[in-house]
Each structure stands twice: as C-alpha cells, then as structure tokens.
Structure 1
Amino acid sequence: KGCQFNAVYANNAAENKHGIRMNENWNNLIFGNNFQFNNINAYENQSCNIWNTTLGNYYSDYQGEDENKDGIGDVPYSLPGPESSSSDRMPSIRPFDEGRLERADIGELVKKYALFEPKEEAGTAARLVEGVMVISHPLPSSPPQWKDSEPLDVSSSPFQEVNDF
C-alpha cells in the first residue's frame, strides 16, 4: 500500500494467494514478471501503475490468443480489482524463462524505459517522452516517514505458509 516510483521486473510469483497486489499504489512500472498459478495473479485497487513497456508480464490465467505468433497476446490482460481500470497491453504468451527473454535483457529494458527524474508538476508522474517511459518523483526534503503504518507481523499467515519462490 502506498508504493510509488518502483520498477518491478524479472520476478517469479507462483502458487500464492496474490501474485502481486497493488492497493493505493501509483506510478510503478511492472513488467517482465511471471505470475503463475496464484489464486489471483495480479490485482490492483485504487491504483495507477504501468504494466508493460514493449513487453508486459506472463499470466498463467491469460485467455487471449496470439494470432501473429509474436509471443505477445492480442488482447490486453485486464487487472482485476473493484476500482481497477488498468491493463497489461503486452501480455506474454510464454513464461520468460522459456528462452524468449533473459533476466539481464529485462534489466536493460528498465534502463531504456524507466528514467527517474524529479517531478515537475502534480498529477500523473509517468509519461512517454520520445518512446521512453519517464517516471518522475519529487525530490525528498527529508527521509520518508509513514506515520499511519503498523509494524508487519510475519509470525502469522500468510508468512508462515510454505511458498516456492
């Protein structure tokens, strides 16, 4: 909750309740990940994030076709959530570990598509500039503080369940 200006890439999330859950998160770039066999592969609520660059993520529950056989689904993957209007417009048909793209290649795409620079104005901080996704952020005047956050209790479920990461 409340995450901003992150690049989430080259991850495998499998056999969890949620592969990734984004609640009240903004301007995060999420691509090149494998979301496999989770109860809900990707979930977004009251958020505005970027789910693809020139490639998106792999979702094991994706139902779309790949008519031109380019490895990218023809229909966007809609992110479920009560207030979600986001979608991954470039969902991968195959998991990324099946020879299509290596982890280092995905890292190079982050350098190409996610430039982090100071935020100049209010509103959406992500924009496309000459084919590059630019994610802006305000320059901090002091270290971040989250007064409304509670300590995370890792002694209870789901942290004590067996997960295969």
Structure 2
Amino acid sequence: MKAAVGDRIVTASGVVGGAVRDGVVTECPHEDGSPPYRVRWSDTGEETLVYPGADTYVDTDAGPAGTAGGAEGARQGRALTWDVRITVVESGGSTTAEAMVMNGPPESLRAVGHARRAPGDPEVPLIGDEIAAGRALRRLADRLLTVAEGDVSAAVGHKAHLHR
C-alpha cells in the first residue's frame, strides 16, 4: 500500500456493526509512500498514526494531482454512506415503523413494518418499536435486493436471480 499527503484513507471496522472510518493522510514519513501514515479522521478531527491492514484502502484519486496510477492506482476502492431513517408511530397498542433510504440509490426506497401488542401483554413501547422497525428494515432489505436484481438483469441482458 502506498499513500501521499492529501490522499483519503478508509478503514472498515474490526467488529460487526462498527463504523467505517475515513480520513485524510496528513503526514507520510517515508518517501516511497509506505506506512505508517498520520491520518486526520473525518468523524472526530483527531490525528492518529495508522498502520493499515487488509481492511484499509487508500483513495489516491482524492489526493494531490498525479498521485494516482501505476499498479497501486489501478485498483481503487469506494466508500459510500447511505442513511436510513426509521420513523416510529405508536397508537393504541399498535406500532408502525417506516424505514427509508435517505441519500443513495435507489432514491425514495421505503418499507413499512407493523407490530401489535396482544391485549394481555404488558405495555412496553420499546418492544413494539423494535419489532416494527425490524420488520420495516427486513422489508427494506428485500426491496433493495429486488432493485439490485433488476439492475443485474439489465447489466447482463437476461433474467438474474440473487440469493437471499
């Protein structure tokens, strides 16, 4: 891995559900661009010394002009952030959640999930929220896979099927 000052560095979390972090290389002490790098993280603004592992890539296109190219520049990674908004409404023992992709293709992708409390169960709103949101997210995932299946079919010129 090679980097230069100004390149963007992206690191996946080492734990399930952890955040993907990105930052800018502010210092590269080796002239050949080899690690370690000093990186200013976009989420906290702090600078740390980074020894990148297999879960890290350098986006040289984001860096200074002329740094991309060669064998290292031929394989670029990507990092995207899609936000999902979940709106939960509860009324009379029934909970409805709407999950919607806010920024990212496909735009306006949404799904709804419902939960209903049994008459004899204690009233614990958080449980209804969790069930309705989980069902909305599951349906949103299914819709996203359906859209992707259509995109794959269009790209390959015949009906495609994604395993779910």
Tell me the TM-score normalised to structure 2 length.
0.22
The structure number with the bigger radius of gyration is 2
Tell me the TM-score normalised to structure 1 length.
0.22
Q: 1 or 2 for the larger relative contact order (CA 8 Å, sep ≥6)?
A: 1
More helix by share: 2
